Chains A and B, each alone.
Chain A
């Protein structure tokens, strides 16, 4: 299980979708772990990787903690809802929902769309659509590759918080990090630079996952003997994967992810149909 978690964490980090999306079907289909225990273990893995990464991002002041705190109001609420609803659904329904999400993410990868990185809005160019609330989150970050200080403005904070509620629900329900919703929301909807969006999303993942993991633990669905190697493995894999990503042809790996997703989605659908 440790080795599989390292591979899942690494693969998820390389293709940019996080380890949760990979580890849940791996545990369910290959190891035979009940799907709810797999989801709970994945949430623990998300907490482990994001906690460690957040410490680094906060130290380098790339993550926007102020904005992250506000969006956490949405994601943590969603995490509670998702974790609660997961307790009401049976394993077959959860497997079906996870298979659907695998298909949607795979299709998104096939389309090859990356979230756009919009130009930071100069503070002097106030547009009618920016509100007082948006101005309150104007900030800057130091681009690590150039050392340049890049200012940016944030748009549509209430809408972003609302979408974060959905992201948290997905995270709590299916054991994924929520970054697959958070990052495009922050980058495309709210106009935040991609680097800030990914690091801020990482900052948010831990507290979001805690909110739902507690509910799985209370229901007795969190098996520590599964969660421990998953957390350790996903952390190790994510660190290694991030380093490897710069050296690999990510495009080919994304096609591999599409193939792997199709396999696991089919396996999970068979469980739904077979009972």
Chain B
């Protein structure tokens, strides 16, 4: 085994993280597409801001569906990091801890947002 091969750290599987990122992207794009089509169908209808309710979704409110897409997009990298924690747990605990650190920082952002 060469010095290069000895030095290179073993790789954890990326599969779960990659799949979660792909799934999250696709779900958000579906929500955005629904919002776009609903907006085209609605024409110049005025929508109230901020209400994400089941009723708004079933009424095909473009804003509600747009918000769903945005929230799914926010959640997707977080899910990816959680998958990364799991993937590194058995091979490199330090990397798993770093991923937990990044998640903690995102939790700080959520906390600041909620406190407003």
Interface residues of A (CB under 8 A from B): 2, 44, 47-48, 51-52, 54-56, 58-59, 61, 65-66, 69-70, 72-73, 76-77, 79-80, 83-84, 122-124, 135-140, 151, 206-207, 210-215, 217-219, 222, 224-225, 227-229, 231-232, 235
Instruction: Please list 5 pairs of residues, one from A and one from B, whose beta carbons are closer than 8 Å in the complex, sorted by A's number.
Output: A54-B21, A59-B14, A80-B112, A138-B4, A140-B8
* Cβ-defined contact, B63 with A225, below 8 A: yes
In the complex with contacts A66-B9, A124-B4, A228-B35, A51-B73 CB distance below 8 A: yes
* Cβ-defined contact, B73 with A47, below 8 A: yes
What does DSSP make chain B's interface, helix, strand, loop or mixed? helix
Tell yes or no: B53 within 8 A of A by CB. Answer: no
Interface residues of B (CB under 8 A from A): 2-4, 7-9, 11, 14-15, 17-19, 21-22, 24-25, 28-29, 31-33, 35-36, 39, 47, 62-63, 65-67, 69-70, 73-74, 76-78, 80-81, 84, 92, 95, 98-99, 101-102, 105-106, 108-110, 112-114, 116
In the bound complex, CA of A212 to CA of B18 (Å): 23
Give, as a whole number of angstroms, the nearest-CB distance from A124 to chain B. Answer: 5
In the bound complex, CA of A80 to CA of B33 (Å): 29
Enumerate chain A residues within 8 angstroms of B39, measured Cβ to Cβ. Answer: 225
Enumerate chain A residues within 8 angstroms of B116, measured Cβ to Cβ. Answer: 218-219
What does DSSP make chain A's interface, helix, strand, loop or mixed? helix
Contact of A59 among B18, B33, B98, B99 (CB under 8 A): B18
* Cβ-defined contact, B25 with A55, below 8 A: yes
Enumerate chain B residues within 8 angstroms of A235, measured Cβ to Cβ. Answer: 25, 29
Enumerate chain A residues within 8 angstroms of B29, measured Cβ to Cβ. Answer: 48, 231-232, 235
Give, as a whole number of angstroms, the nearest-CB distance from A162 to chain B. Answer: 15
In the complex with contacts A54-B21, A65-B84, A207-B102, A228-B69 CB distance below 8 A: yes
* Cβ-defined contact, A138 with B9, below 8 A: yes
* Cβ-defined contact, A69 with B102, below 8 A: yes
Enumerate chain A residues within 8 angstroms of B73, measured Cβ to Cβ. Answer: 44, 47-48, 51, 231
Enumerate chain B residues within 8 angstroms of A51, measured Cβ to Cβ. Answer: 21, 24-25, 73, 76-77, 80
Residue on A with the closest CB to B76?
A: A51
Q: Which 5 A-B pairs have the closest CB atoms?
A: A218-B113, A224-B66, A228-B66, A55-B21, A123-B4
In the bound complex, CA of A123 to CA of B6 (Å): 9
* Cβ-defined contact, A232 with B8, below 8 A: no
Contact of A224 among B9, B67, B114 (CB under 8 A): B67
In the bound complex, CA of A124 to CA of B98 (Å): 28
In the bound complex, CA of A225 to CA of B113 (Å): 20
Contact of B70 among A44, A84, A137 (CB under 8 A): A44
* Cβ-defined contact, A206 with B108, below 8 A: no
Give, as a whole number of angstroms, the nearest-CB distance from A84 to chain B. Answer: 7
Contact of B69 among A83, A123, A217, A231 (CB under 8 A): A231
In the bound complex, CA of A235 to CA of B76 (Å): 15
Residue on B with the closest CB to A212?
A: B109
